[in-house]
Amino acid sequence: LVPVGELPRILGHEFSGEVAGIGPGVSGYEEGDRVVADINIGCGRCVYCHRGQHLRCDGLRQIGVHVDGAFAEFVRVPVQALRRIPAAMSFEAAALTEPLACALHGEEQVGLQPGEVVVVLGCGPMGLLHCMLSRLRGAACVISCEPNEFRRDFSLRVGADCAVGAGADVIRDAVLDRTDGQGADVVIEAVGSAPTYRTAIALARPGGRVLFFGAAAPNDEIPLHPFDVYRRELTMVGSYAGSYGSWDQAIALLSAGRIPATDLVTSVRPLEELEASIEAIATRPDAMKIQIAVA
Ligand SMILES: [Zn+2]
């Protein structure tokens, strides 16, 4: 499975909007219905799709990644991907359904339990959603790790109990300090780099679990001591995207205000400023998420 689709491609995989038109043979929706769409579309014919596990489908296509997405006046989606959103839910909040669904699926994969100590590596929007969600799921302590001071402080406002700067040694000392020298129950890697994956494995306590959440490059490699995994009885689990029931969970949590995800929205700009917005996200240390409003 290729990590990204072929170019050129219209990006935009976190979106909400109104139904503007309906294809032939489609029923159950009307123009003006307020919706989001699960971006993950399986082939529908393989063993994984038949099992309801289309994230594992070799032919999986994601809207905004492998097929054209929502940085446009209109986006075309299959009807089975649609989810209605409550009347009182803002489009801004609804557009955060996709990233929150990813975080929900990841924390389900790693089986986060109440009372556990959770380390979140990386405080980009995804790491911050994991801070929010870990707290909501009853983590006893959430430790965030992030070199960018703005993002580190942000994590403390949205669910982290303590925030640590960069450096594997600094992070290890901080985690051991807060866990009687044991390490974390759960470590969530939300960076996607080989060095932080190594750090994540090192931070888990005996019997601990590591969530491989950040998108590493396909050819990245890390050294691993099999004896260490064996001796410490570690669990390492991957999470590729959010789908299935996690979309409905995300809509429910966002519309109920249980997850303050709209705090992540730095600004809302028109489609004409898309390129400048992407530039700003890449270069401004205090930019988190810029939403694009299509009039
Ligand atoms: Zn399939």
The tens digit of pLDDT for each residue in 122-149 reads 999 999 999 999 999 999 999 999 999 9
Ligand 1 mean position, distance from CA 42 (Å): 5
What's the rounded mean pLDDT across residues 252-259? 97
Residue 210 CA to residue 184 CA, distance in Å, equals 9
Does the pLDDT of residue 1 top 70, yes or no? Answer: no
What's the rounded mean pLDDT across residues 77-81? 95
Ligand 1 mean position, distance from CA 39 (Å): 14
CA 248 to chain centre: 15
Ligand 1 mean position, distance from CA 80 (Å): 15
Ligand 1 mean position, distance from CA 47 (Å): 7
Ligand 1 mean position, distance from CA 58 (Å): 6
* 3-class secondary-structure state, position 260: coil
For residue 276, what is the enclosing H or E element? Answer: helix 274-283
Ligand 1 mean position, distance from CA 60 (Å): 6
Ligand 1 mean position, distance from CA 81 (Å): 15
Does the pLDDT of residue 3 top 70, yes or no? Answer: no
Ligand 1 mean position, distance from CA 48 (Å): 6
Residue 132 CA to residue 118 CA, distance in Å, equals 12
The pTM score is 0.96
Ligand 1 mean position, distance from CA 66 (Å): 15
